[in-house]
Amino acid sequence: MIRIRRRYDAVLPDEAPAGVTPEPPPWLMASTGRPSRRSPAVNRWLLPGHTWQERQLNVYYVAAIWLGMALLASMVSIWIAVPAALVEIVIGALAGNIPGIQQHVTQTGFVTFLASVGSLVLTFLAGAEIDPVSLRGHWKASVSIGLASFLLPFLAAFGFCRLVLGWQLHAAEIGGIALSTTSVAVVYAVMVETGLNRRDLGKLILAACFITDLGTVLALGGLFATYNWLLMVFIVVSAVTVLMLPRLVRLAITRFGHRVSEPEIKLLLVVLFALGGLATQAGSEAVLPAYVAGLVVAGVFMHDRVLMDRLRSIAFALLTPFFFLRAGTLISAPALVSGAGVIAVLLLVKLAAKMIGVWPTAAVFKLPRRERTYTTLLMATGLTFGSIAALFGLTHGLIDKTQYTVLVTVVILSAFVPTLIAQQLFRPTILDAEEEEALGEEDLSIIHHQRAQPPGGSRTRSAAPSPDQADPSSR
């Protein structure tokens, strides 16, 4: 009997960063009567004592389980009026840690791939939501808030990891970078579900997120990049492609129009995957050029919302649930128990540094108190680039698995805690044009006055639409 040795590739340690993935139950395995040649990388998914001639993983059951969790998260998010992204993280964490359930949540290669594509497309859509006109109009506020959101948390987290926890220099640098980020994925999902992506406040927050994560990218690249010819090729090719992309998209729309085969979406996906592959080959991350690509085509999407809505529907229906659910499964219950103190303190360090840096900066630009607090809390979120920075450190041997688990747990908790507080206590009131016409001037003045009240003040709840009413894509 051939025994298959279970191991994880050094190239893809994120498949089981918190420990060994539980063995799949027998009903997840499909019988096959024909022998087949498989690469050693897929042997990790075999049950002990079985070969591919006897059994192979039933991918349809795996897909049904993951999409079932996504469906459950969607229904729960509608019932409790909380963004679906946060519910997906919680359900993923529960499914990945409850005995009897975690064995059925199998992270196969296609789950990892769909999660990676989800983060790629979601990051691109976040960049595409930034109105270039609004960015130019609010560039001082967005740059100031974005820099404050990156610099102070980076220094605070780096100092705490280095001086208090006693981490090595490079490990402390990874900790500072991972905890200084703002989650574009979470913020964009919240903006879409609440309808703020069409408002000046939402566009300002997304623009500030861009500046913060740009600082993260520059810090990660400047401190740990391998400066060779391949990196230069990646930079040159990315710059040329990004400059040509708006013209190519306009040409595709003019030449082909909106066909059933969706050539425009295929063009965008080809560009994103090609740049992502080149970025990975150069030792960078696939999501980094995606954000810039989304930003440069934002002007095209402003005049063609059909293309934007179709790409968003594909992302939110199929791709992003895998990303957020998988992020939740990376939370380790044993690590939460053993390192709860360190995790809690690091989370407080990040939230306090974000509050000290962002809140006064937003006050300088005369944001009302409620919107100022809401902006500060959303800028304190972290998920995509924080996880990327931690994974980069683990892959390159800069941090160990324990430090990786601590950082990823703090990053994922920072995606949940600030967003939940912001959505439940400080969400701004949004009025559609029809609602403004229905309300008299006196009622409008009362609502606008209540928006500027302190968080403890009362406000008219009926004027604020639920996430489902704010944007059709959240349904």
Could you read off the pLDDT of 131-161 as tens digits, one per residue?
777 777 788 999 999 999 999 999 999 999 9
Task: Report yes or no: 383 and 185 within 8 Å, Cβ to Cβ.
Answer: yes
b/e sequence 318-355, b meaning 16+ C-beta within 10 Å? ebbbbbbbbbbbbbbeebbeebeebbeebbebbbebbb
Sequence letter at residue 353: A
What per-residue confidence (pLDDT) applies to 44?
46
**Residue 244 phi/psi, 5° resolution?**
-85, -15
Alpha-carbon span 385 to 392, nearest angstrom: 10
Alpha-carbon span 131 to 210, nearest angstrom: 12
**Positive/negative CA dihedral, 155, 360, 381, 220:** negative
Alpha-carbon span 364 to 330, nearest angstrom: 39
What is the distance, to the nearest Å, from the Cα of residue 316 to the centroid of all Cα atoms in its chain?
12
Tokens matching residue 174: 């990874």
**Residue 31 phi/psi, 5° resolution?**
-75, 150
What per-residue confidence (pLDDT) applies to 19?
46
Tokens matching residue 292: 């810039």
Tokens matching residue 309: 């809505």
Tokens matching residue 99: 């005995």
Spatial CB neighbours of 390, under 8 Å, sequence gap ≥ 6: 174, 178, 399, 404, 407, 408, 411
pLDDT, averaged in runs of 10, over the chain (475 residues): 42 43 58 47 45 61 92 91 82 87 81 89 84 79 94 97 95 95 85 85 89 87 81 91 92 84 91 91 82 87 84 91 87 82 95 96 92 95 85 84 88 89 87 50 45 41 39 38
Domain borders along the chain are 67-425, 433-474
Q: What is the pTM of this model?
A: 0.71
What per-residue confidence (pLDDT) applies to 93?
87
**Positive/negative CA dihedral, 307, 383, 368, 436:** positive
Q: What is the SS3 string spanning the chain?
A: CCCCCCCCCCCCHHHCCCCCCCCCCHHHEEECCCCCCCCHHHHHHCCCCCCCCCEEECHHHHHHHHHHHHHHHHHHHHHHCCCHHHHHHHHHHHHCCCCCCHHHCCCCHHHHHHHHHHHHHHHHHHHHCCCHHHHHHCHHHHHHHHHHHHHHHHHHHHHHHHHHCCCCHHHHHHHHHHCCCCCHHHHHHHHHHHCHHHCHHHHHHHHHHHHHHHHHHHHHHHHHCCCCHHHHHHHHHHHHHHHHHHHHHHHHHHHHCCCCCCHHHHHHHHHHHHHHHHHHHCCCCCHHHHHHHHHHCHHHHHHCHHHHHHHHHHHHHHHHHHHHHHHHHCCCHHHHHHCHHHHHHHHHHHHHHHHHHHHHHHHHCCCCHHHHHHHHHHHCCCCHHHHHHHHHHHHCCCCCHHHHHHHHHHHHHHHHHHHHHHHHHCCCCCCCHHHHHHCCHHHHHHHHHHHCCCCCCCCCHHHCCCHHHHCHHHC
Sequence letter at residue 211: I
What per-residue confidence (pLDDT) applies to 107?
81
CATH class of 67-425: mainly alpha
Could you read off the pLDDT of 51-70 as tens digits, one per residue?
443 357 788 888 899 999 99
What per-residue confidence (pLDDT) applies to 66?
93
Q: Using DSSP bridges, classify how beta strands 29-31 and 55-57 pair: parallel, antiparallel or unpaired.
A: antiparallel
Class of residue 437 by CB neighbours under 10 A (exposed 0-12, middle 13-18, buried 19+) = exposed
